Structure formats: structure tokens, C-alpha cells
Structure 1
């Protein structure tokens, strides 16, 4: 088995494990439909692309080596998840909201939320610092090391995007079952808000 194949299989297993990104995509699909889920998946992986570039350029290592910067990132990530949770709790959805076509403004907002959910997750920074180097030969020149990290990051990005789009479609398929009445829709918003608040707390674990 080549190192690239091993990396692809490891990436597949890691992406399949539920986390904030997966939960965000599924909840957006359930609440706002398939288009919202797909846009959220694209936003999450835009954040992944930034993480890959940061890891290749050494920025991720710089953040991890400075406790204050890393702590600020953790607080920012937890705060943003808490913000999404409160926003979901205060939202007053209609029973048919998941079947409505989201406006362009809302889709852009969901995309931006997804990017920030990923970018402000300090565990993703540590993930790329710890994961990518394991599949690189030792003793490579700096330029070749960065090139190989970029290739591995691209492979991870493609795998993550495919799986995230699948999660978006699964979430959209659940929309009709979880909605139907205003009372059900309200309970779904409360559940979504509670999940985001729980994720905000888990950032510090």
C-alpha cells in the first residue's frame, strides 16, 4: 500500500467520524433543505482549504506554538458556536421552512457561517499539524515538503467534500420527517440550538 493510499484511507475514516462540521452540515440541511446543506458543505471545505494553506505555510505551527493565540482561537470558536446556538433558539421557523427555496442572502450567510465554524475550530489546526507530517518521508527539502503537504491536503479536501455532500443529502432527506407542524419545527430549532451550545462547550475538552 502506497503512502498516498494509506493517507486516503485514513482521511476517509477521520472525516466519517462525527464532529462540529458534520453536525453543522446535517442540521443546516434538515432546517433549510438540500441547497442550504450543499452550500454549508462548500463553506466547511473552504475553511479546510484555508487550514491546508496555513499548515503548508507554517502559520498553523506558529499559532499552536503560541499559547495566547491558540487560546484566543479556542474562545473565538466556542463563542461563534454559542452564537449560532442562541440564534437557532431564537429563530421562529415555519413548518414548511425546509421545503422553501432559501434566498441568496441566506445561502451566503450559511456559507459564511460554515467557513467560520471550520476556521475557528482549534482542533482542526492541531489535526493538520499532527496528521499530515505522519505521511511525509523524513529528510525532505523544505520546498518538497510543502509540495507534498499541499498534495495530501488536496486529497483530504476532495474526500471531505464528497462525504460532506453526502451528509448534506442525507440531512435534506430527513427534512420532511422532522418537520410537518410549527410545533415540530420549533422543537427542531431548539434541538439544533442545544447541539451548537454543546459543541461550544466541547471545544474546551
Structure 2
């Protein structure tokens, strides 16, 4: 493992993407426990893309216009659904009177997982990114890919959790101020729409 890998991974994970936006929105709307569930879900959503990169399935997405387009369309639809769910009353950025229950925490995690699973660019990213750091003198390529992927996932979990807990801290400062929550709701919904549009225009 090289310092270049760690720095590049840090930049990628810190960058505001769909997972970051979802984790921030969950922290603001549902609190600390929910934000950690979102962080874990987004992290687990990396697993299919990592497996796809290791097994070569990502190469199919890279070369097959139909497969890439189908997954891309599903991803766009899901992001638009997320935007609508943020805007409606009772959505993710409402402030409930009670903390999120166990069942809702599982649902929050599942949503976070699907956000990454339905992003075809993630599989293609791993296919292009991880092999650059495979060394001939180290362990087998499979072991190195799994190790690098595990480190990337750990960084994702830690950083996303920090984002979410920070958002939960802000949540306590804006309780009782619905105007601010409405502004946040519109901001995050608009961001999901923008990310959906960006994904719709994405090429292999």
C-alpha cells in the first residue's frame, strides 16, 4: 500500500457525491444513529462494485453500452426518487419527535447501499483505480485488490460517519427552526437532481 493510494482514496471519499449528500441529509433529519446507519449502508454498497472490478464484471459495464445504460437509468431514477422523498412532508429532513427505530435504521442503511449499487461509474472506477496500485513483488493480485478495497471501505465508513455526526450536531442547533430545515431540504433535493442529471449524461 502506497501513500499515493491513501491520498487519492482520501480525496475521492471526501468529495461530495451521492453517498455524502445522503449521509448529511440523514444526519440532519434523523440524528446521529441514523447517520451512522447511512454511513454503513453506503460503505456496504461498495462491495458489489469491488467484486465486479475483481471478477471483471466491471469490464462488461465499460464495454457494453446496453448494460451500462440500463444500470445508469436505474441509478438516475433512484436519485430522482431520493430528491422527491426529501421534498415531501415526513421525508428524510423532517425532525421527528422520536429517534429512528431499529426498523427504520435498517431501511436507512438499505437505501444507502442501493445508492452505491445503482451507480455504474463506481464499478468502472474501481476497475481503473485499484490495478494501478498492484505490485508484482507483493501478494497475489486478488489479495492486493481485496486489501486495497477494504482500506477504501474503511476510509469511507470513517469519513462518512464524521460527515453524518457533524450533520447531527447541526441538527440539534436548528431544531425549532423549520425555515432552515426547509432550506436544507430544498438544497439536498436539488443536489440529488443535479447528481442524477450528471449520471444521466455520464459515458462509459
Structure-1-length-normalised TM-score? 0.87
Conservation of the 8 A alpha-carbon contact between 1:93 and 1:186:
no
| 1:112 maps to which of 110, 118, 141 | 110
Are positions 1:6 and 2:4 aligned together? yes
Deviation at 1:191, TM superposition (A): 3.0
Query: 1:189 and 1:13, CA in 2 relative to 1: closer, same or farther beyond 3 A?
Result: closer
Specify the alignment match of 1:38 in structure 2: 36
Query: 1:183 and 1:93, CA in 2 relative to 1: closer, same or farther beyond 3 A?
Result: farther
| 1:158 maps to which of 132, 144, 154 | 154
For this pair of structures, how many residues does the alignment match? Answer: 201
Conservation of the 8 A alpha-carbon contact between 1:41 and 1:164:
yes
Matched residue of 1:101: which SS?
coil
Aligned ranges for residues 40-189 of structure 1 at < 5 Å?
Answer: 40-92=38-90, 97=95, 100-137=98-135, 144-189=140-185
Deviation at 1:13, TM superposition (A): 1.9
Deviation at 1:49, TM superposition (A): 2.0
Conservation of the 8 A alpha-carbon contact between 1:136 and 1:145:
yes
Structure-2-length-normalised TM-score? 0.88
Separation in structure 2 between the aligned mates of residue 44 and residue 63 of structure 1, nearest angstrom: 21
Separation in structure 2 between the aligned mates of residue 197 and residue 97 of structure 1, nearest angstrom: 22
Are positions 1:197 and 2:188 aligned together? no
Separation in structure 2 between the aligned mates of residue 158 and residue 167 of structure 1, nearest angstrom: 14
Deviations 1:1-48 (A, max 9, x none): xx4332122211221111111111111101111111100000000011
